[in-house]
Each structure stands twice: as structure tokens, then as C-alpha cells.
Amino acid sequence: MKRRNALRTLVAASLLIPALSFAGQSPYVRQAILDGYHIYKGNPRTFFCGCAFENKYVNKKKCGQNVPKIPTRESQLTWTHIVPLERAAKRFDCWKKGGLDYCRATSKKFNRLESDLYNLVPVIGKFDLVKKNYAYTMVPGHLKKFAMGCSVDIDSAHNIIEPPLRLRGRIARTYFYLEKVYGIGLTPEERHLYAMWNKQVPPDLDEIELNDLISSVQE
């Protein structure tokens, strides 16, 4: 309930101004992904590139972006975190003591964080390898490099990524949500940038409907 109410509060405030592979994933994340396929059934598109997908595969013929010819395994759908898990969990005591496996074994709060569908989204497998755990910011013009033909700029030398305009508000609200619910903490620079993105790109009807669907399966 706390997770649901926190996201609804942020959205309201912004408006006012089949056979799946679960290798290496916790049972909480597995269940979240199963719920995720159901939630995205009405609008099955990947988060960053906006590509249509069917079951666990990206439909390159229906993709609105110029997805290159890549091996089938890399065109498979995967699920990743908007806010990278390492970034979100770095203040957790369990993370400091033993990292991922230790957190999964000892922290209910971490398991809720890792499987939180407000932060867990479908993406192209290949894109997730390119995105890595880069920080979101504005990439200087001369460093811009589109990732896989998507409208996402990557600067691998500085480990930063500039998301397309349409996603900046949702990314910002996800950071604020995780801060409120899980106490992930934000730097002054992050807070300033994400406050600007949140104001510039308020939630649209699709985001509101998605949040309602998530809240229906996630307490």
C-alpha cells in the first residue's frame, strides 16, 4: 500500500503544476515479471525503444525504431530496472555487507525493491547490455551516440545516458518514488535534474493507466 500511494502522490503532484527464462532471478522478481507480462498485455512495448513485443521476443517488423539485425537471443525481451539496482540499493546495509545474494537472503525490503514493477520494465536484451548501469543526465552534443537506433544517447566513456524526452518525466518520478518508499537518497545534482524533468514532462494517460494496473497487483 505504501508503494502504491507514494507513486500516486507523485503523479498527482506532477499533473498539478509463455515459456520464460528466469535464470539468476529471485522468486520475487520471477513473479513480478509474470505480473508484468499481464500488465503490459494491452500495450506491449519496450520501455526505452518503444518496440512492440510478443511474448518474450521483440517484433522487429513492428518496431518504430531502426532495430539492427541482431542475433535472436539478443532480440529477446528482458526486464531491467529504470533506476539501476546497484544505484538503488547502495545505501542498504545488506548491500554494503554482502551485495546482491546477501540482500536477497536477508532483506525483505530489498526483495520488494528488486521486484517493484514501478521500476521494473521490459527492454530489448541487446539494449540492456548497452545501457548497463549508466547514470541518467544530459549528454553533450558532440558525445551523442544513439543506442541501437533508439532515441537514446549513450556516452560510454563517461558512463552516462540521455533518455528521450518522452521518458524523462517517468524516470524522474521513479527516482523520487524509490527515494520516498525505499530511502535510496538523491544527490543535489540528481534532485535538481529530476525535478526539472518531472515538471517538463508530466505523466500522460498511458503512464497513469499503467500505474493503476501495477497497483492492482502490487501492494
Per residue in 153-208, pLDDT (tens digit) is 888 888 999 999 999 999 999 999 999 999 999 999 999 999 999 999 999 999 99
Which position has the grid cell 543526465? 137
Q: Note down the domain range covering 120.
A: 2-217
User: Cβ(46)–Cβ(124) under 8 Å?
Assistant: yes
How many domains does the chain fold into? 1
Going by C-beta distance under 8 Å and a sequence separation of 6 or more, which residues neighbour residue 165?
200, 201
Element (H, E) at 161: strand 160-162
Predicted local confidence at residue 194, as pLDDT: 98
C-alpha distance from residue 197 to each of 115, 146, 175, 191, 193 (Å): 25, 20, 11, 10, 6
Convert the pLDDT of each residue in 83-128 to its tens digit.
999 999 999 999 999 999 999 999 999 999 999 999 999 998 888 8
Distance CA 34, CA 36 (A): 5
Full-model pTM: 0.85
